[in-house]
Each structure stands twice: as C-alpha cells, then as structure tokens.
Chains A and B, each alone.
Chain A
Amino acid sequence: MVFSSNIFLFFFLPIFLIAYFITPQKFRNYTLLLFSIVFYAYGAPDFVFLLVGECVINYFIVRAMGRTDGVHTVSTTKKKNLCALSVIMALGLLLYFKYANFFMENLNTILGWAHHEPVDWMKVALPIGISFFTFQSITYTIDVYRGTTPPSQKLTDYVLYIMMFPQLIAGPIVNYNSVAAQLVSRTSTMEDRVVGFYRFVIGLAKKVLIANTMALYADHVFGMAYGDLATGTAWIGILAYTFQIYFDFSGYSDMAIGLGKMMGFRFPENFNDPYTSRSVTEFWKRWHMTLGNFIMNYLYIPLGGNRKGKGRMYFNLWLCFLLSGLWHGASWNFVLWGAFHGLFICADKLFLKNALKKIGMLPSVVITFFLVAMGWVLFRVDTAADAGAFYQALFAFKGGLTVAGDAQFWCVFALAIVFSFLTLVPFGQKLQDRIFADNYSKPLSWTMFAITLVLFILSAGSLCVSDFNPFIYFRF
C-alpha cells in the first residue's frame, strides 16, 4: 500500500484518522501500532512476521545492553557485544535480503569467466522498507550504546518507532533520540492536525501531479534504445527524471511529515530545496538530509571522520558515498552513482567549492544542477554500459528518435523548474516560508485550506483516472 493510492486515501486513511482521534490519548500508540502492522502486512504478508520478530528480539537485546540499576551498569565488553549483536542482526538481514542476489549474480559472473558452472540460487524477495527500518533500528541501538538515550521502557513503543506507517516505507530516517519523548508523551493541537493535513496534501500533489507527469516522459525516453536517441530528447528525458525523483521523494517525505504532525510527531525535514545548491557538498546537506545525518553520525564519524588526516578523510568520504550508493540499490550503477558523488565531494574539499564560490551564485547553481543531473543518469539506467550509451546520446549533438511532450508535460515541466528554483529569489523564499510556516494567520490558513482542497480533488481525480480507460462498448 502506498500513500498515493485509492485504497490508502479513501479507505485506510479515513478509517485510521477516525479510529486514532476517537481513541483516548493513552491508547493512541496501540491504535497507531495496529494500523501500522496492517499497513505493512497488506503489502508484505510474508515479511510482517520477520519485521515484528526482529523488532522484538532487538528490543530485548538493546534493553539488556542499556540495563542499569542506577549503581551498576552492564560491563563495557558485554555492552559492546550486545551492540555488535544487534547491529549485525540488523545489517545481516539487510545484507541477505537486499544484497544476496547481487552477490550471487556477481559470483556466477566470475565463475563464468573462470569457466566454472554457476551456482544454483533461488532469488530472495526484498522486504519493502528494509533499507529504512534497518537504519532506524541501528540508530536506536547505537544511541542507547552511546548513552544518548535510555532504552525504550515499552516493547510496543519500540515496535511503533520502527513500524510507524508514515515513515516505515520511505523515510524520513528518524533517529530514536529525536522521537523518544514523543512516543511516550505528545500532544497534537488542532493547528498541528490541520497544518499536518496541508503538508500531506502538498506532498500528495507533488507526487501525483508533478512527479507522475514527469515519470511518463522519462520512462518513455529511458525505454528507448539510447543509441538512437536525439540529443535534445535525451536531455529533456534526464531533466524530466531529475524532477521526477525530487518531487516523488520529497512529496513522499512531505506526506510522512504531514501525517506525523497530525498525530503530534515532529519528524525531521528531509529536503531543503536541493537543486538550489551551489556545490555537491551543499546538495548533500539539502537532499535526503536524514540519510546524510545517519551516514555522518553512524558511519563517517565512527570511521574517524576528518580527525585522522586528510588522506583518511577523503577515503572515509568516498567510502561513505560508495556505501550510500549501494544502500540505494543492489547494482553496480548505484555504486557508480555513489562513487560519482563521492568524487565531487572530495573535489569540493580540494578546490571545487572555492572555485564555484568565485564564479557567482547562478553559475554555481547551474553547474551543481548539471553535475547532479549527470549523476541521476547512473541512478536511472539498469547497467553501467547503459549509462555510457546514454551519456553518448547526451553529448553526441545529433538527431534521432524523439519523444514529443504534450502541453501538459511542458506546463508541469515549467512548474517543476519554478518550484525547484523558487527560493533562489527572495520573494520565493518568503513564499515558501509562509506556506510551510509553523504559525498561520486566519486568512492564510483559509487560503491554504482552499488550496489543499483543490489539490486533493485533483490528486484524487488523477489517481482514480489512472488505468481508467473505458470503452464505448465491451467489444472495443
């Protein structure tokens, strides 16, 4: 089940909201937990028990690790071992379900080169959301290990932290420390609920009205033989994908944050106008910020960060991005994408960031956007060879196969550009700050309410209309 689906919008969400708000405050966590389990079980009937089981086991491991009677604490060795056990268990599941197929494919390729028989292997299915809940589980374990936060006192609260449906499938990656207090006690004012709803609908519109329109064009271009593409079409295709991925992912995050706010949770922001960045370094401070924070706090800093000399710092940076690429997908093109960004992060540290500062804001934004878009080629294609062919199409400056965009595509494309770069101008920044404010004046709130109503109807209509292609008669 996804947020942008009829079954979620018209059935699951209404039932959940009614049930949640009529439940007395002290039982609301149970209501949320029940609906979250149903949400996950709907889409992953074979993995829901795995997830719940893993949560239960991890809860007890971490509780044992964080046990203290006020005077004596668990020994450091035992604490380390339990922490390692918890992390290994979480990473082990991730490695098995997400990377076993990748590993076996590569092993069989190598065996093929060595003229050996390939190993028979039954492909493993991927539990949805595993990349996100694994990282959340790790933040909990390590935060307790570091003493940043005590372990959860209730099993149900911990399971809720992992399985809460707003952020279970696609983030934001919420570290335990930031929501621990909210799990135990939180309030949601009427303003929170309504503003949360505004945010949810804005996210829905970004996904359904913008991202899906861009996706139609991008899928068409990327479905063609890259060698035959006209250069102009290749460029429009990658730009369409660049906007698709941003509005899709940020839209989903908006929906998660909005739903959380309705319930009184304050989830961290995940996107901050990333395409207005003036360097790749800045891009990663604005794109998927919760992933960036996770990588920094739980990988880069433990590896030594920048405290062990410049050489080690560049290695750490590059390794973090390599692993980040691999986290996004079990395929060499994702690894290349990570390496691509790692390279430019290192280049920023060396010379690039300073050089971009000198040439002015607009050129640096354009160059950074160009680099990010080139990175998305690696992200979108299936193989490294395909990436090469697409880059060729981009820079061959030749004619070939074209895809004509219609008026709707160009209009939405223009809107995507405007919304992506709006905050480059002061008026745009002010407008965004007003729309995503914490406090709304009465006239503004009614304006927002009217806008979200229209956006909701259009988004709902778009969802209802997809795959609805009636014939005149049954024989047509």
Chain B
Amino acid sequence: MNKKPHFLIQFVIILVAFTAILLQGFTHVVKMKPLAGYVPDEQPVKLSFKTYYDGTFQNYLTDHAKRNSGFREPCIRSYNQSLFSLFGKSTNNTLVHGLNKEMYLQIYLDEIKGKTLKDCYGSEDYFKTKAQKDIEKTLVLIDSLKQHNTAFLFVEAPSKTWVYPEYMPQEYQDSIMSFCVQDYYTQLFKENNIPHIDFLSYFKSLKGKTKYPLYSRYGTHWAESTIPFVSDSILTKIGSLIGQEMPHIVCVDENLTTKYSKQDGEIESLMNLLLPIRKPAIPQPIMALSDTTLRKPNILVIADSYFIQLHESTFADAFNRCDYWKYNDEIITKEINYLGKVNQYLEAYNVIDEVDLVMVVTTSVYAYDYMFGFCETAKEAFIDRDGKLKQKMIEETIERIKSVPEWFESVKQQAVERGIDLDEMLRLNAIYAIETDKQKQQN
C-alpha cells in the first residue's frame, strides 16, 4: 500500500495539468477571453530542409509556441496583475505610467519630446519646408473638391500629452519640445484660409473649467464625456461649410459609471489584468440629435483612431452616409459594395462625387503623416482620373489598331504621306476612333 498517497495525487495533478496545457495549446478547445491589443500577425514558415537548417523554422515555431501556449491568457493576466498590484507597473512597454495615475502611450511621449520629429524629418526647418508643400497640395485638393461641389474640413484632435503635460513622468516634462507641429499646421491653415477646427487650443482653454476630466486616466483619446460638445462643434462647422442646417447634439443622460467602456478604458484593457482597476466614476453620455427631420448630408472622413468614438456615436446619425477611411487604408462604411482596403478599389475615390464634404481628423502623432497621404492618393485616383482614363483608352485603341493589319498599314501610309512620326499618327488615329465611337453612342 502506498504510504505516501499525497505524492501520487500530486503527480497525477501535474500530469493532468501538463496534458491539459498541451491539448489547449494545440486545440484551444477551452475558450479563453482573448488578450486585448493588436500584435502583428505571425509569418508562417513551412518545414523544409533549408528552413530547418538555417533555423527560420525553429524561430517560427518558438514564436508560434509563445502565441499559442495553452492557458497563456490567465498566466499573462496573473503575472500582470501581480506586477500591477505590487509595483504599480505594466508589462506592456507601449504604455507609460504618469503622475496622478494618468497613463500615456509611449508614441505620444516620443512625439512631445521631439523624437518623432527627429526620426521623420531630422530637423524643424526640414519639417516646415515639407509642411508648406502639404498646404499647397491641400489647396489643390480643396479646389478640385470645390469643382465637384464637395467641401473640406480639417479637424485637429488634441492629444493628452499636449493638453496635460503636467501628468507626464518627470523625465518627459523636462524635455518637451518648444515646437508644436499641430500648432504650426493650425497657423498655416489660418494663413491659407483652409477650413479647420483647432481642438488642441480649445481643450487647453477648457483645462480646469470642466466638471469632468477631458481625458480618461486609462484612455488616450478624448474622453466620452467630451464627445457631445466635440460632435456639436463639428456638426455646426460642417453646416456652415455646406450651407445647410445641421442638428445639434443633445445630452440625454450623463450616465456616470466606473465601468469605463470604449476608448475611456482602452489603456486599462491593454494592461491585460485579472481584476478591474478601481476608478472614479466618469460620464459615458447618452446623446440624441436635436432634430431628425433635417436633410442628412453625406461625408467622407479620413481619420486616425480619434474618429472612432464619433463614428460609433450619435454624431454619425446626423449623416445619410458617413464613410470612414481609417488611416486612409481601411474602409468602414455601411455601403456593402465597399468594404476592405481603400487601395483594393479602383473606383473607391469616386465616392467624392457622392459626398457633401471630405473631413480629415488627425492628432499630433499623425501630423507627421499628413492626411495619411490622402492628398497624393486623391490626386492620383480622383483629380487626375479623367486624364488618366483618357490616356488608358488611347493606349488600348493604339493596341487595337496594331492588331488589325489593314488598319495599321493604313496608319503607316498616312504617317509617310503627312511626314509625321508613326507613334504620333497612331495617337491621332486613336483619338479620332474614340471620338467617333463616342459620337455614335450619343446618337
């Protein structure tokens, strides 16, 4: 008889636990609450002699094991919770703990201390030169949009670091750069009469004067409590730009809560803790439109993550169509024909014909990626589209001429008789053929 049955029990527990970990790692049969946050997808590597011998397969397996270890989610949460409870720190090095329990994203701190400017442009002077060119491109864009009866608005969203620098860790407070990129763009917008809303200055002016904080401690975007007046300001401005009355935003209920949802709790969720952090109650207001009978315009919004809250709130209900091109890359729309990536669709930019206004919403970190290249991509795909289309048709018609031997010979003869270069003769014939076809279609 086993005199130490407790060891048998413990050994069985160990084996069962390891078996469960293994099975979970391969099958993920027990559904775990997924960890919050985005990590780049892994790049699968197929096993071959080469990939095994040079170690790339092993590197992939090691990374794959890390991402798929059984029950990693509770292990990570337990570890994170113990670190946070004991030492008040987070294991996610994209997050920074500031003073007064405020939290920041590292990229915003890098921006305010000038690292982003230095990395992207090297110097303030080089950035200013580039900014001037951005303004020139913006003016061309605005002009083109005007020809299609589409207005333009640039909304400068305020980042927490520029509004509340006093809560940043001391080392960052000591190295705030004197040049604010967003303020510089505001100055240029004013000088060039580019329609814009400067929320950075507005939020700075509101500091200490509002009932509730302008930012959640555990968020990086503008707090849900600011969405009513932010939405209302934008709607009013849009109304003045497109020449129609827009509804106001009405706050139906403050809805004070300690359960931060949406972007108010995003940093907390990114910490992947076991237990919720004790937090003061803040509003998650319930809003409504003051008038739902007014004509609802269509807008296209090119924006960073600061537009997410607006897009998912009553603000979007003021529009018939509110397409959101996230970072000028991902299309978020109710139009089922256009889902996915902007560059997947040749005709994506044709939406500009259908909207009353194009709005850009970015914050300081993305001022370095001006409009996410929308000025350039819109010019390529929309402003110059007629010229490009025509050029394409000419080239296709020239190929058609060359494929018909009699026609091609005839063109060659014409070129000789008129003393014109063959390529030029082909082009003239192609234009004539296109115009003739167009005429026939119209008849």
Contact = CB atoms under 8 A, between A and B. Distances in A.
Contacts of B74: 457
B58 A471 contact: no
A406 B18 contact: no
Given A408-B89, A445-B10, A465 B79 contact: yes
A191 B38 contact: no
B22 A465 contact: no
A7 B36 contact: no
Nearest to A209: B79
A46 interface: yes
Contact of A472 (B13, B37, B75): B37
Given A6-B62, A17-B15, A18-B19, A475 B79 contact: no
A472 B305 contact: yes
Given A10-B22, A408-B86, A190 B4 contact: yes
A474 B107 CA distance: 13
A9 B75 CA distance: 13
Contact of A10 (B4, B70, B105, B266): B70
B105 A464 contact: no
A472 B265 CA distance: 11
Interface string A170-191: 0000000000000000000111
A21 B15 contact: yes
Given A11-B22, A45-B52, A407-B87, A464 B72 contact: yes
A460 interface: yes
B336 interface: no
Contact of A445 (B2, B7, B305): B7
Interface string B34-49: 0111111000000000
A408 B10 contact: no
Contact of B38 (A46, A467, A471): A471
B327 A475 contact: yes
A446 B6 contact: yes
Interface stretch (B90-98, B124-132, B192-200): B90-98
B383 to A, nearest CB: 26
A197 interface: yes
A327 interface: no
Interface residues of B, number: 59
A311 B13 CA distance: 59
A445 B4 CA distance: 10
Contacts of B420: none
Given A194-B7, A407-B87, A471-B39, A14 B18 contact: yes
A108 interface: no
B76 A465 contact: yes
A467 B67 CA distance: 11
B14 interface: yes
Given A6-B69, A7-B66, A10-B65, 17 more contacts: A189-B7, A193-B7, A194-B10, A408-B86, A460-B79, A464-B72, A464-B79, A467-B66, A470-B92, A471-B94, A472-B220, A472-B266, A472-B305, A475-B304, A476-B38, A476-B94, A476-B107
10 contacts: A5-B62, A6-B62, A6-B65, A10-B25, A11-B22, A11-B69, A408-B89, A442-B4, A457-B78, A460-B79
| Minimum-distance CB pairs A-B, first 4 | A470-B37, A461-B79, A7-B65, A14-B18
Interface of B: 2, 4, 6-8, 10-11, 13-15, 18-19, 21-22, 25, 35-40, 52-53, 55, 58, 61-62, 65-66, 69-70, 72, 74-80, 82-83, 86-89, 91-94, 105, 107, 220, 266-267, 270, 272, 304-305, 327
